[in-house]
Amino acid sequence: MVSYADVRKWKPEELESAHSDLGNRRNDLVGLQDELDGAKKTDGWSGAAADASAAEHAKLVDGMRSLIAEVATVRVAVATAADDVAKIKKRIEEADREAEANGFQITDEGGIRDVAPPQDVPEDQLEEVKQKRLQVRDKLMADIEKILDDAEQADAELAKALTAAQQDEIKPGEGGTLADAASTDDLQALAASAGKPADDSPEANAEWWKSLSDEQRAALMEAPPAWLGSRDGIPAAARDMANRANIDNVRGDLVAERDRLQEGGVSEDEQKKLDEINAKIASVDQVRETIGNEEPPRQLLVLDPSGERLKAAVAVGDVDNADHVSVFTPGFTTTVDGSLANYDDKMRELVAESSDQLAASGKGGEVAAVTWIGYEAPQTSETGDLFGDSVASSSSAKEGGAKLNDFYQGINASRDNDPNLTAIGHSYGSTTTGYALQGGDHGVDNAILYGSPGVGTSDIKDLNVPEGRAYLLEAKNDPVADLGRFGTDPTHMDGFTDLSTAKSDQGAEVTGHSDYLNPDTTSQHNIAAVVAGVPENAVEGSTDGVGDKISYGTHKTREGVEAVQEWGSERWSDAKELGSDAWSGVKDAGSKVKDFFS
């Protein structure tokens, strides 16, 4: 029997810590899949020893699968208990406050003690005050009884899961991998009972998730359907779990498709498809390697094998709880297999620099940064496709921008409190970012664009970013930043705050198109300052390239022509007015002469 004193001592944070530890243990066990596969008896080995080895291997696999199923089941129970205990503790605090406000005290036994009855109550109000206090006491008694009932239920459910695990009563999920073992029948049934969102908008996804019971959410974390990982508006932790659980399936499907194509020879048309599949397999392998980094932990927020190239997004840090979140979108020639590792490293360095600036400013808070390769950026091989996927076309940027807008929305929609959200775009990725921001309702607080060939508009108001919170960086000898290919060259758009890329007390200079995020540079310092919510730390300043000087000269020439045209127009107007007056005078004089001779 759970007592009120026991419940008062419960600590939901300890259950949350246990839930996290169990998740790490489950991941460690699932991560042994390759070693288990490698430990199978080799082809050509036969005999008694081979049979004994195979039997031991099968026994080991069965034991591991059972252990993973038990860990998954207990983890769901712990997650549910942690949520239940947190709610119960909050109700206890509310009951204690109400009791104290009315002169009562709730004892460790769950009783009500009258410790501060009202004094000097007028005679004619005594009965009214008495009845009111009796009502408060009765309500407190009912609240305490309900709290103890719910606490007893939470304790019993957790004990039930622990007992089932201890007595080996939990049957592993179907499937041949260790990851499949975590999806037990009970967890799958509970996850299936959650249904699906009404549609695939960030708002609908977020509302659906928040409407679920604690048990359903916990089950979906352990036995997630594949579609859960791609839904903007779902918490990052849940998306990460779903996408990690789906990696083996995605890779397996790609390998099966590759093997099918290779059967009986490959035609010229099939070779292109085969090359795409091999690149996707390499991309999946790169994703797996990247999310294996744990300092800080990574979150896999997008894993999309559709289309010509695999799309992915990986976060450094905890997007669900970070106070400051940035989303970086790279540009031309970006691929998951060729670019993710480098950009993930840059985001790790950016998080570290942003955190250092927060600490130096005397401000607390956590930082997370996402590398978003959720669109198919133009490639060198597509340069000739001027009206399609070429870097000279806005087609890919517009398509990617729509997805990126949903991604921004999803971060805010999935959380109870909005983070300081920063959109970062480089090169063609800044164009994609520009189109995403023009989509509106994105919840982005700051936009940082660098090496930008344009943002798809000539008016900064179209980006829907708070005034003064759009920042631009251009390095010396960066030709792309002067193209102005997509809308006006941002350098000449009113409303951007120019941040320096030159040498300063805060870091070294960067030159060219690709080094803005290099550590120990002024540009990285400035980007980190905005991400960390301390833009006052940034060093302002602009760099004019050759294109800017030409553009400036053209701009001044245009101003001169417009001024001459305006002057000429004014003089012509004056001349017309003067001529009109003169002609009127001549007519008047002629009329007088005519009258005289008449």
- Mean per-residue pLDDT for 131-160? 94
Residue positions counted in the chain: 598
Q: What is the radius of gyration, based on Cα positions, of the chain? A: 34
Alpha-carbon dihedral sign for residues 372, 374, 376, 378: negative
Count Cβ atoms below 10 Å from residue 547 Cβ, excluding itself: 18
**Amino acid residing at 63:** G
What would the two tokens of residue 77 be?
């129970």
Gap between the Cα atoms of 530 and 326, Å rounded: 10
Whole-number percent of the chain with pLDDT over 70: 90
How does residue 259 score in pLDDT terms, banded at 50, 70 and 90? Answer: very high
Measured in whole angstroms, how far is the alpha carbon of residue 249 from the centre of its chain?
23
For residue 71, the number of C-alpha atoms closer than 13 Å in the C-beta half-sphere is: 24
Gap between the Cα atoms of 219 and 185, Å rounded: 11
Count Cβ atoms below 10 Å from residue 171 Cβ, excluding itself: 14
How does residue 561 score in pLDDT terms, banded at 50, 70 and 90? Answer: very low
Residues 6+ apart with CB under 8 A from 425: 328, 329, 331, 431, 432, 433, 434, 447, 448, 449, 450, 452, 455
Buried b (16+ CB within 10 A) or exposed e, 290-320: bbeeeebebbbbbbbbeeebbbbbbbbbbbb
What phi and psi values does residue 46 have, to the nearest 5 degrees?
A: -140, 170
What would the two tokens of residue 446 be?
């700051």
Q: Whose CA is closest to 183, among 30, 81, 400?
A: 30
Q: For position 552, what pLDDT does the model report?
A: 41
Q: For position 557, what pLDDT does the model report?
A: 39
Gap between the Cα atoms of 114 and 134, Å rounded: 11
| Residue 129 confidence (pLDDT) above 70 | yes
- What pTM was computed for the model? 0.79
Q: Whose CA is closest to 405, among 456, 350, 354?
A: 456
β-sheet bridge partners, residue 472: 449, 498
How does residue 547 score in pLDDT terms, banded at 50, 70 and 90? Answer: low
The mean-pLDDT minimum among 282-286, 344-348, 587-591 falls in: 587-591
Residue carrying the six token digits 């758009």: 493
| Residue 169 confidence (pLDDT) above 50 | yes
**Amino acid residing at 305:** P
| pLDDT per position as a tens digit, 68-81 | 999 989 988 998 99
β-sheet bridge partners, residue 298: 316
For residue 398, the number of C-alpha atoms closer than 13 Å in the C-beta half-sphere is: 11
Residues 6+ apart with CB under 8 A from 97: none
Question: What's the CA dihedral at 512, 517, 523, 524 to 10 degrees?
Answer: -170
| pLDDT per position as a tens digit, 425-469 | 999 999 999 999 999 899 999 999 999 999 999 999 999 999 999
Q: For position 492, what pLDDT does the model report?
A: 84
| pLDDT per position as a tens digit, 83-93 | 899 999 999 99
| Residue 538 confidence (pLDDT) above 90 | yes
| Residue 546 confidence (pLDDT) above 70 | no
What are the residue ranges of helices labelled H in 263-361?
A: 268-291, 336-360
Would you give the DSSP letter of residue 223? S
| Residue 30 confidence (pLDDT) above 90 | no
| Residue 207 confidence (pLDDT) above 60 | yes
Q: For position 177, what pLDDT does the model report?
A: 81
Residue carrying the six token digits 């896999």: 300
Whether the Cβ atoms of residue 241 and residue 224 lie closer than 8 Å to each other: yes
Whether the Cβ atoms of residue 393 and residue 387 lie closer than 8 Å to each other: yes
Would you give the DSSP letter of residue 445? -
Whether the Cβ atoms of residue 33 and residue 179 lie closer than 8 Å to each other: yes
Residue carrying the six token digits 């249904």: 195
| pLDDT per position as a tens digit, 395-431 | 899 999 999 999 999 999 999 999 999 999 999 999 9
| pLDDT per position as a tens digit, 322-346 | 999 999 999 999 999 999 999 999 9
Whether the Cβ atoms of residue 208 and residue 235 lie closer than 8 Å to each other: no
- Mean per-residue pLDDT for 476-501? 89
Whole-number percent of the chain with pLDDT over 90: 67
Q: For position 442, what pLDDT does the model report?
A: 94
Q: For position 596, what pLDDT does the model report?
A: 34
Whether the Cβ atoms of residue 457 and residue 464 lie closer than 8 Å to each other: no
- Mean per-residue pLDDT for 246-275? 90
Q: Whose CA is closest to 532, among 423, 430, 417, 420?
A: 420
Gap between the Cα atoms of 112 and 118, Å rounded: 16
Mean pLDDT of the chain: 88
| pLDDT per position as a tens digit, 355-387 | 999 999 999 899 999 999 999 999 988 776 656
Long-range interactions of 389-398: CB distance < 8 A, separation 24+? 391/332, 391/428, 392/485, 394/431, 394/435, 394/456, 394/486, 396/428, 396/432, 397/428, 397/431, 397/432, 397/434, 397/435, 397/456, 397/486, 398/435, 398/456
Gap between the Cα atoms of 318 and 368, Å rounded: 6
Q: For position 92, what pLDDT does the model report?
A: 94
Cis peptide before 202 (omega within 30 of 0): no
Span between the terminal Cα atoms of the chain, in Å: 130
Gap between the Cα atoms of 399 and 377, Å rounded: 10
> H-helix or E-strand containing 238?
helix 236-262
Residues 6+ apart with CB under 8 A from 570: none
| Residue 157 confidence (pLDDT) above 70 | yes
Residues 6+ apart with CB under 8 A from 186: 73
For residue 203, the number of C-alpha atoms closer than 13 Å in the C-beta half-sphere is: 3
Burial class (CB in 10 A: 0-12, 13-18, 19+), 1: exposed
Whether the Cβ atoms of residue 445 and residue 432 lie closer than 8 Å to each other: no
